Amino acid sequence: MLAVVEKKQVEGSTAAADDDHALTDGFNLVIEALKLNDLTTIYGVPGIPITDFGRMAQAAGLRVLSFRHEQNAGYAASIAGYLTKKPGVCLTVSAPGFLNGLTALAHATTNCFPMILISGSSEREIVDLQQGDYEEMDQLAIAKPLCKAAFRVLHAQDIGIGLARAIRAAVSGRPGGVYLDLPAKLFGQVMDAEAGAKSLVKVVDAAPAHIPSPESVKRALDALKTAKKPLIILGKGAAYAQADDAIRELVEKSGVPFLPMSMAKGLLPDAHPQCAGAARSTVLKDSDVVMLIGARLNWLLSHGKGKSWGDHPKTFIQIDIEPKEMDSNVGIAAPVVGDIGSSVAALIEGMGSNWPKAPAEWTSAVAKKREENVAKMAPRLMNNNSPMDYHGALGVLKTIIAERPDAILVNEGANTLDLARGVIDMHQPRKRIDVGTWGVMGIGMGYAIAAAVETGKPVLCVEGDSAFGFSGMEVETICRYGLPVCVVIFNNDGIYRGTDVNTAGDDPATTVFVRGARYDRMMEAFGGVGVNATNPDELKRAVNAAMDSGKPTLINAVIDPAAGSESGRIGNLNPQSALKKK
C-alpha cells in the first residue's frame, strides 16, 4: 500500500488533489516501486538530498545499510547483483557522492553485474544554466559513458516507469550497471495516491531467454567433436547464469578438461578429475579446440594469443549472450549467441546419447601434469614459518575452506590475490568473489558485507595490506551490523613487499607502510574481535574461532616483509619491468 501524505503537509505544492483524495509523494513512490519489484536491500551513504528517503525506506521495511564511503556501498551493490541475479541498489547523495559511487557502477558494467546507482541531484533548471546550485553537476551526462544505461526521472508519475526501465536494462542481455537520476525536487512532488499506485510497474520477464540458433549449436559441436586436445574455459558469466547442473552435465558428458577462471571456481569442484586449474599453462598452450562458456578473451587470458597459447592455431568456440563479444581479439570459428543456460542445454541435446569422450591420451596427459604440480606445491603449503610466507598462510586457509565449503571467500590484493587464486580450492559455485575483470583494488569490505547480507553465509575475506587500505574503515560497518565476517590481512608492511628503500632521501619508499602495523586493533576499536597471528598454527586457530563464533573478526596475519613479488604475477604489465627484460 502506498503511504499517504496529509493535505496540510503539501500546501503550496505544484501537485494538487481534491480534499477527499489521499495523496502520495515521490519518496513513497520510489519506495513502493522498489518493493513491488522485490528490491528490498539498499546500500548507500545518507546525506542531502536523500537522508529522509533512507529513513522512510527503512521504516517501510526495506533493509538500508549505511556505509562509510559510497564506493564501498557501490561495490556491495554490484556483488549483490552478481549473487542474486537481481540489480543491487546503491543510493548516494549528489555530485561528490555520486562520483564516489560511479567507480563501482563502471566496475559493475565491466564485470557484467546488474546494479542500479540511484543518486539525488540538483535541480535541472539551475544545472542547465550553470547557476551554482548546491553540489551542481550534470550527473546523467557524466554517468552515460560509464554504464549500460542512464535515466532521469523528473515527474512523480514517471517513477514507476523509470525504475522499471532501470531494472530491465540492468539484467537483460549482458547484465551491467544502470544510473537512475532523481532530482531533489522529485521526492517532494505530490500526486493522487490511487493514480500513483497505478503508475507503478511490476517488471515481467526482465531477462528473457536468448535461444541460440540450431546452426550455431551444430557448428560448435562439429568443432568440438574433431578436437584432439579440447579444453573448456568457464568464466564468471557461467557462474552468474546459475545453470550449474547443465554445465556439469556438458563437461562430464564430453569428458573435456575444464579450466575455471577465478570467480568460476567451484562451479564444478576444483577437485573434480577433469579440472585443469593446476595445469593451466599446459592446457592453454597445448589445446587445439577451446570452448569458452561465459568467459572473455581479455587480458586475463592473454587475449587468446601470444606465447601462453602456444605456437599452433586454435579453434575457438564461444558461448556469450552479447554478439559483439565475438571476434573481439581472435576469430571465433563457432560463435554461439544466447544465454548460458539455453545454450548449454542446446549443446547437451545436440550431443545425443553416444557422444565420444575427449581422447584419453589428452585427458591422461592433463591429469598427470595436474598431479605433478599439486605434489610439487604441497610441501610449500605445510610450513609453519614465523613470520609466515604466503604459501604457509594460504595452506591453512585452503584447509579451512575445504572444511567449510559453504563459506564465501572474498579475495583481493596483489600476491594475496594471485597466489590464493591458485592455492585455495573451491567446492561450490559462487563462493569465491574477487577483483574481476578490471583487477581493481578496494572491493573487499563492500563485497564481504553484501555477501554476508545477501546469502546469510559466513564470509572469509582475505586481503593484502595495501588492498585493505582502500576500504578498511568499513570494518566499523561490519561491526555495526554484527555481520559474520572474518577479515584476514596478509601484512607484509607494504605494497608487494615491505623491504623497498628510498635511496634519494629520508621519506619511506613509495611501496612501504608503517612497519609492524596492528590492523587487528582497528577491529577491537569498534567492538569486534582482533587477533595478531604470527605463524600458520595461530592463523588456523584464529580463523576457525571466528568462523565458529560468527563474530566480526580481523586477523593481522604477519607475513615476512620480503615475501611477495612486484605486482604479483602481472609484473609484465609494468612498463619499467618490460624495459628491464629488454
* Span 467-503, pLDDT tens digits: 999 999 999 999 999 999 999 999 999 999 999 999 9
Residue where the block lists cell 592446457: 283
Residues counted in the chain = 582
36 within some domain: yes
Residue ending a domain, among 338, 372, 406, is 372
- The helix/strand count (H/E) of the chain reads as 23, 19
> Do 388 and 334 have their domain in common?
no
127 within some domain: yes
578 within some domain: no
Q: What is the mean pLDDT of residues 26-55?
A: 96
For residue 229, what are the domain limits?
214-372
- Using pLDDT thresholds of 50, 70 and 90, give the confidence band for residue 8: very low
Whether the CA torsion 327, 332, 335, 339 is positive or negative: it is negative
Render pLDDT for 507-549 as a digit per residue (tens, 0 to 9): 999 999 999 999 999 999 999 999 999 999 999 999 999 999 9
* pLDDT beyond 50 at 142: yes
pLDDT given at position 577: 56
- Using pLDDT thresholds of 50, 70 and 90, give the confidence band for residue 125: confident
* pLDDT beyond 70 at 172: yes
Amino acid at 443: I
- Using pLDDT thresholds of 50, 70 and 90, give the confidence band for residue 337: very high
**Residues facing residue 415 across a β-bridge:** none
The CB density around residue 125, as the number of other CB atoms within 10 Å, is: 11
> Do 269 and 341 have their domain in common?
yes
> Do 408 and 340 have their domain in common?
no
CA atoms of 164 and 341, how far apart (whole Å): 24
CATH of the domain at 226: 3.40.50.1220
Render pLDDT for 174-205 as a digit per residue (tens, 0 to 9): 999 999 999 999 999 999 999 999 999 999 99
Rg over alpha carbons for the chain, rounded to the nearest Å, is 26
pLDDT given at position 573: 72
pLDDT given at position 136: 79
The CB density around residue 226, as the number of other CB atoms within 10 Å, is: 11
CA distances from 29 to 215, 341, 473 (A): 47, 35, 33
The residue with greater pLDDT, 10 or 46, is: 46
> Do 229 and 134 have their domain in common?
no
Beta-strand pair 23-25/190-192: antiparallel
Beta-strand pair 41-44/88-92: parallel
Report which of 372, 370, 396, 397 is spatially closest to residue 382, judged by C-alpha positions.
Answer: 396
- Give the least confident one: 17-21, 148-152, 379-383: 17-21
E-assigned strands of 122-234?
149-152, 177-183, 190-192, 230-234
Contact 466, 494 (CB under 8 A): yes
> Do 104 and 184 have their domain in common?
yes
Report which of 449, 451, 396 is spatially closest to residue 423, judged by C-alpha positions.
Answer: 396
> Do 455 and 344 have their domain in common?
no
pLDDT given at position 123: 83
The 3-state secondary structure of 93-105 reads CCCHHHHHHHHHH
pLDDT given at position 581: 53
> Do 389 and 302 have their domain in common?
no
- Using pLDDT thresholds of 50, 70 and 90, give the confidence band for residue 131: confident
> Do 361 and 430 have their domain in common?
no
208 within some domain: no
The 3-state secondary structure of 328-395 reads CCCCCCEEEECCHHHHHHHHHHHHCCCCCCCCHHHHHHHHHHHHHHHHHHHHHHHCCCCCECHHHHHH
pLDDT given at position 127: 84
> Do 367 and 393 have their domain in common?
no
CA atoms of 121 and 141, how far apart (whole Å): 12
2 within some domain: no
263 within some domain: yes
The residue with greater pLDDT, 398 or 18, is: 398
pLDDT given at position 5: 55
> Do 183 and 269 have their domain in common?
no
What one-character DSSP code corresponds to residue 212?
P
CA atoms of 245 and 247, how far apart (whole Å): 6
pTM, two decimal places = 0.94
CA atoms of 281 and 109, how far apart (whole Å): 29
Three-state DSSP class for 23?
A: strand
> Do 329 and 461 have their domain in common?
no
- Using pLDDT thresholds of 50, 70 and 90, give the confidence band for residue 11: very low
Report which of 242, 308, 251 is spatially closest to residue 275, judged by C-alpha positions.
Answer: 251
> Do 126 and 19 have their domain in common?
yes
Ramachandran angles phi, psi of 322, nearest 5° = -105, 110
Three-state DSSP class for 115?
A: strand
Q: What is the mean pLDDT of residues 402-424?
A: 96
Amino acid at 351: M
Contact 451, 457 (CB under 8 A): yes
Residue where the block lists cell 526521472: 153
Total structural domains within the chain: 3
